[in-house]
Structure 1
Amino acid sequence: MKALVIGAGGVGRAIANIASRRTFITSMVIADRNLARAEEAVARVNDARFSAAQVNAAELEDLRELIRKADPDVVINAVDPRFVMPIFLACEIENKNYIDMAMSLSRPHPHYPNSETGVKLGDEQFARDWNWSERGIYALVGMGIEPGMSDVFARYASDFLFSRLDSITILDGSNLTVEGHNFAPSFSIWTTIEECLNPPLVWEDGRGWFTTEPFSEIETFDFPEGIGPVECVNVEHEEVVLIPQKVDAKKVNFKYGLGASFITTLKTIHMLGMDR
C-alpha cells in the first residue's frame, strides 16, 4: 500500500512510526507546510520506504499536484480540522481514498446558536457522499481515537454487551501537566479553543440534534488509573454526529474533563475576544 500523510506534527509522526513497523506499507510520503518538519519525521523512522514533501494544506491545487505526484492508494489527513475540506476535495477530484481523524467544521445557528444546530460537524463531507459513491472511492471519516475508537466501542457495547442503551456519554479526562506551563493543552491549541467554545452538540431520541451553552451539564467524574476526580462539561465533538446514525440510544453526548481552572482560562479567552 502506498500512503500519503498530510501533516508532520505529533499525529503525523505517530502514524509514520507505526507504519514503519507494518510490512504492507510499500511507500509513505510525509508532507507538511514546513519541509524541515516532514524531513525530521522521515529521519526518525530511518526507513527507505519513507520520503518527505512540502505542501500547503489550505491550497487545493497544491494538494492535487502532490497527490498526482505521490499517486497513493490512500491519503491520511493528519492536520487540524480547518484543512479537512481542501484535502477531502482534492482526494475526491483525484479519485483517491481518504482517512481523517476530525471532520469538517461546524457553523453555529445564526439566530439560536445555543439551542438549535446550524451546520454540524461533518455535514459538508456527508453532502459529498453521492460523488464518492459514483467514483468508487472511500472516505473513512472521524477515525482516530475519539472520534474513531470511541464510536467502535459504542457500537460494540450496543451489539454485544447490552440489550438497551439509555445514554452514551464519551468522557475524556486526564491529569497530564507540562512542567513550567499553567495552560498547556495536550493537542492543537486552536482546536482546543474552537471546539470547547462552540455550542456543544447533543442528540436525544425524539428530539434529534440540538445545542446547549458551552460548558453545560457540569459533573465531576472519578477517572480510573490514578487520574481521579475531574470536572467534565459538554463539548462539541464528532461522536455525537456519528453514533446516533449507527447505534440505538436514548441520548448521546460528549464531555471533556477540562477542570475548573482550564474552563476559567477558556472563558477568559472568549471574554477578551481572543477566540475569534
Structure 2
Amino acid sequence: MRVLMIGSGGVGDAAARIAAERDFFEQWVVADYDATRAERTVAAVVERHPAETRFVAARVDASDAGAITALAREHGATHVFNAVDPKFNLPIFHGAKAAGADYLDMAMSLSRPHPERPYAETGVKLGDEQFEVAGEWEADGRLALVGIGVEPGLSDVFARYAADHLFSEIDELGTRDGANLVVRDDDGNEVFAPSFSMWTTIEECLNPPVVWEKDRGWFTTEPFSEPEVFDFPEGIGPVECVNVEHEEVLLMPRWVEAKRATFKYGLGDEFIGILKVLHTLGLDRTEPVLVKGVEVSPRDVVAAVLPDPATIGPRMTGKTCAGLFVTGTGTDGQPRRTYLFHVVDNEQTMRDYGAQCVVWQTAVNPVVALELLARGTWKGAGVLGPEAFDAVPFLELLAAPKPEGYGSPWGLEDR
C-alpha cells in the first residue's frame, strides 16, 4: 500500500504520527498547499522515529483534481486519503478515481439546503454528489470509503456492530458526542478555542440538521433542535446535546436496519451563542465579499483568526467522547438501551503523540481502516460507508494493546 494523504493540518499531522508506528504501508506522502506544513509533519514523524524513511512531503492544491491525479500517479499511490476540509472533497474524490487509486475521507461532500423549505425538507444531502457516481467506482473496481473519521466513522462501525451482535430490532441509532475539554491562556483563564476545524464546525452546526425515520425518510429541523441532557462516561458527565447536521444520519440507514437515526452534539451554551451571532452577522457565509478592494470569505476570516486546532493541545485539559446510543430489542427479546463509546484523554495523546485528543481521535480511525484494507480484511468496490464492512476486525484492532493493535479501547454501557 502506498498512501497519498492530502492535508497536514491537525488531523493529517496526527494520522501521520499514528501511522508511523504501523508496518502495513510502503510509503506515506504528506501533501499540503503549504509545503512547509507538510515538511513539518514529516520532520515530526522522523524526530519520534529516527529510522523512519517511508514519509515524504509534497505540495498540492486540494482544489485541483488534475493536480491530485498527477501527484498520485507520480508516487504510485494506491490510496488517496483526504484529510482536509470537506469543501475540497470532490476534487480529491475525482482526482483519486482518475489516478486509479482507492479513496478515503472523514466527511462527505457538502449539502445545500432546500431552497424553499430548508427546515423541513432536505435539498442536496451530505454525500449525494459522491453516491451519484457509486456505479462508476464499482464498475472500475475501485473503493471510495467515505465518512471514516470518528464521527462519522467509528460511530458507524458501532452501528454495524450493534445490529450484528447486540440487537434483534433497533428503534434508534443516536450518535451522541460530548466532552469536558477546557483551553486556557498563559494566565490560566479559560478561552474560546474550538478543538476542531472552525470552518467545518460552522458548516455542520448552522446547516439544517437532518433526521431519518423509516416512515418519513430524511427530513430537516431547525438548528440546535431537540435539546437533551446526555450523561457521558469516564467522568465527563451530563452535557446538553442538540441536533446537528452530520454524515451518520445519511450513512447508517443505507446499511443498517433501524426505525430512526439522529446525531446530537454537546456544544454548550457559549458555543451555540457564538454560532448564532456569527450567523446573524453573516460571518458564516462562504461567498466572498469585497473588503477594501479584496475579495474574502467571511467564514475563512473567522477560521483564520481563531487558534489552529493543531496547536492548542498543550493548553487543553479533559476528555472527549464519541459514541452511539442504541435503543430497541436485544438479541434475547428484551428491551435494550446501550451506549457504545470511545473516550480519549488529551493528556495521553499529547504525551504519546504530541497531538491533541480531538484530532487524534478523528485520525486514528482512517489509519485503522487503511490497515484493514491493506490486509484484505476489508474489501469492496463502489462508494461505501463504514457500515458496509464487518465491525469486529476494526474494533479488535483499535482496542488491542500495542504493537498488535492501536491500544485505544472502546466501551459499552447498558442503560
In structure 2, the residue matched to 1:203 is 212
**Alignment match of 2:81 (pick from 76, 85, 99):** 76
**Alignment match of 1:243 (pick from 252, 257, 260):** 252
1:131-150 map, 5 Å: 131-150=136-155
Cα offsets for 1:197-226 (capped at 9, x unmatched): 000000011100000000000111121211
Alpha-carbon RMSD across the aligned residues, in angstroms, is: 1.0
* Secondary structure of the corresponding residue to residue 199 of structure 1: coil
Shift of 1:66: 1.1
In structure 1, the residue matched to 2:291 is none
Please tell me the residue identity of whatever aligns with 1:256. Answer: Y
Please tell me the residue identity of whatever aligns with 2:34. Answer: N
**Alignment match of 1:61 (pick from 60, 66, 73):** 66
Please tell me the residue identity of whatever aligns with 1:26. Answer: E
Shift of 1:262: 1.1
1:23-172 map, 5 Å: 23-46=23-46, 47-172=52-177
Shift of 1:30: 0.3
Aligned partners of 1:89, 1:108: CA distance in 2, in Å?
23
* Secondary structure of the corresponding residue to residue 168 of structure 2: coil
Aligned partners of 2:132, 2:260: CA distance in 1, in Å?
24
**Are the equivalent residues in 1 in contact too, given 2:70–2:99 (CA < 8 A)?**
no
Cα offsets for 1:93-118 (capped at 9, x unmatched): 12110111110000000100000000
Please tell me the residue identity of whatever aligns with 2:3. Answer: A
* Secondary structure of the corresponding residue to residue 124 of structure 1: helix
**Which has the higher mean CA deviation after the structures are superposed, 215-224 or 116-125?**
215-224
Please tell me the residue identity of whatever aligns with 2:244. Answer: V
**Are the equivalent residues in 1 in contact too, given 2:80–2:104 (CA < 8 A)?**
yes
In structure 1, the residue matched to 2:409 is none
* Secondary structure of the corresponding residue to residue 30 of structure 2: strand
Aligned partners of 1:183, 1:272: CA distance in 2, in Å?
19
Please tell me the residue identity of whatever aligns with 2:64. Answer: E
In structure 2, the residue matched to 1:21 is 21
Shift of 1:24: 2.0
In structure 2, the residue matched to 1:182 is 191
**Which has the higher mean CA deviation after the structures are superposed, 83-92 or 59-68?**
59-68
Please tell me the residue identity of whatever aligns with 1:16. Answer: A
Cα offsets for 1:214-265 (capped at 9, x unmatched): 0000111121211122111000000001101111111100000001111111
* Secondary structure of the corresponding residue to residue 269 of structure 1: helix
In structure 2, the residue matched to 1:8 is 8
Cα offsets for 1:163-203 (capped at 9, x unmatched): 21111110110011211353211110000111100000000
Aligned partners of 1:182, 1:49: CA distance in 2, in Å?
38
Please tell me the residue identity of whatever aligns with 2:180. Answer: N
**Are the equivalent residues in 1 in contact too, given 2:67–2:95 (CA < 8 A)?**
no
* Secondary structure of the corresponding residue to residue 177 of structure 2: strand
Please tell me the residue identity of whatever aligns with 2:220. Answer: T
Normalising to structure 2: TM-score of the pair? 0.65
1:271 maps to 2:280: yes
Aligned partners of 1:229, 1:251: CA distance in 2, in Å?
23
Give the aligned length. Answer: 276
Aligned partners of 1:148, 1:79: CA distance in 2, in Å?
16
In structure 2, the residue matched to 1:219 is 228
Aligned partners of 2:64, 2:178: CA distance in 1, in Å?
35
Please tell me the residue identity of whatever aligns with 2:139. Answer: E
Aligned partners of 1:12, 1:57: CA distance in 2, in Å?
13
Cα offsets for 1:70-115 (capped at 9, x unmatched): 1111010000100000000001112110111110000000100000
Aligned partners of 1:163, 1:64: CA distance in 2, in Å?
44
* Secondary structure of the corresponding residue to residue 261 of structure 1: helix
Percent identity over the alignment?
Answer: 60
* Secondary structure of the corresponding residue to residue 37 of structure 2: helix
Please tell me the residue identity of whatever aligns with 1:6. Answer: I
Please tell me the residue identity of whatever aligns with 2:211. Answer: V
**Which has the higher mean CA deviation after the structures are superposed, 59-68 or 194-203?**
59-68
Please tell me the residue identity of whatever aligns with 1:218. Answer: P
Normalising to structure 1: TM-score of the pair? 0.98
